[in-house]
Amino acid sequence: MNDGANSRFYDGDNYQINDSIGFLMRQIVGIFSAAIDDRMAAHDLTDAQWKPLIMIQLGQCRTAAELARLTCSDAGAVTRLLDRVEAKGLVRRSRSQQDRRVVNLELTEEGDRAAQVVPHVLADVLNALLAGFSEAEARQLKALLRRMLDNARDLRKSSAVQA
């Protein structure tokens, strides 16, 4: 029985971009982001701006460095993004009392209200993307994507070790 551990699904000699999982995922992410952006505009948020709000609200990150790691973003880009959401009055930065080098992120009252909208918008768009899927298919897709994400993380670790 082949467990897939040594399977090769692509061959460089006959590679077809339209048949690439990476290409398909990039297309889906692009359309997903545009749909989110369209719906978030009604709440005066961009696709980039809702991400730190929900991550902070859910306790996924407390600092810009954690946000950058979580979103696989450049620290400078995250700082500029935080400047924009702070200027909109949605996020507040404050020095840690335990370690003055650390700047903590917290939502303002307005930021918390804005963050409460985000899961509803995301759910609507994801449900639209999953139209026609059974519950079992949606669960299987998530499991397969998580497995692929684990493989991607392993690949990144092994690439970093080889560099």
Domain assignment present for 57? yes
Domain assignment present for 10? no
Domain assignment present for 73? yes
Q: What is the pLDDT of residue 5?
A: 66
pLDDT of residue 34 exceeding 90, the answer is: yes
Domain assignment present for 9? no
Q: What is the pLDDT of residue 1?
A: 45
**Mean of pLDDT over the chain:** 91
Here the CATH number for the domain that contains residue 81 is: 1.10.10.10
Domain assignment present for 26? yes
Domain assignment present for 27? yes
Summarize the confidence of residues 110-139 as an average pLDDT: 96
Task: Assign 53 a pLDDT band (cuts: 50, 70, 90).
Answer: very high
Q: pLDDT tens digits for 77-121?
A: 999 999 999 999 999 999 888 888 888 999 999 999 999 999 999
Q: pLDDT tens digits for 13-32?
A: 999 999 999 999 999 999 99
pLDDT of residue 49 exceeding 50, the answer is: yes
Q: What is the pLDDT of residue 35?
A: 94
Q: What is the pLDDT of residue 4?
A: 63
Q: What is the pLDDT of residue 48?
A: 87
Domain assignment present for 11? no
Residue linked to tokens 């950058």: 68
- DSSP state letters, 48-61: HHHHHHHHHHTTS-
State what percent of residues in the chain have pLDDT above 90.
76
pLDDT of residue 9 exceeding 80, the answer is: yes
Burial 142-160 (b: 16+ CB within 10 A, else e): eeeeeeeeeeeeeeeeeee
Domain assignment present for 39? yes
Number of domains into which the chain is organized: 1
Q: What is the pLDDT of residue 128?
A: 97
- DSSP state letters, the chain: ---STT-----GGG--GGG-HHHHHHHHHHHHHHHHHHHHGGGT--HHHHHHHHHHHTTS-SBHHHHHHHTT--HHHHHHHHHHHHHTTSEEEEE-SS-TT-EEEEE-HHHHHHHHHHHHHHHHHHHHHTTT--HHHHHHHHHHHHHHHHHHHHHHHHHHHH-
Q: Is the pTM of this model over 0.85?
A: no
Judging by beta carbons within 10 Å of its beta carbon (0-12, 13-18, 19+), is residue 21 exposed, middle or buried?
A: exposed
Tokens of 86: 């702070």
Burial 111-129 (b: 16+ CB within 10 A, else e): beebbebbeebbeebeeee
Q: Domain range for residue 45?
A: 19-155
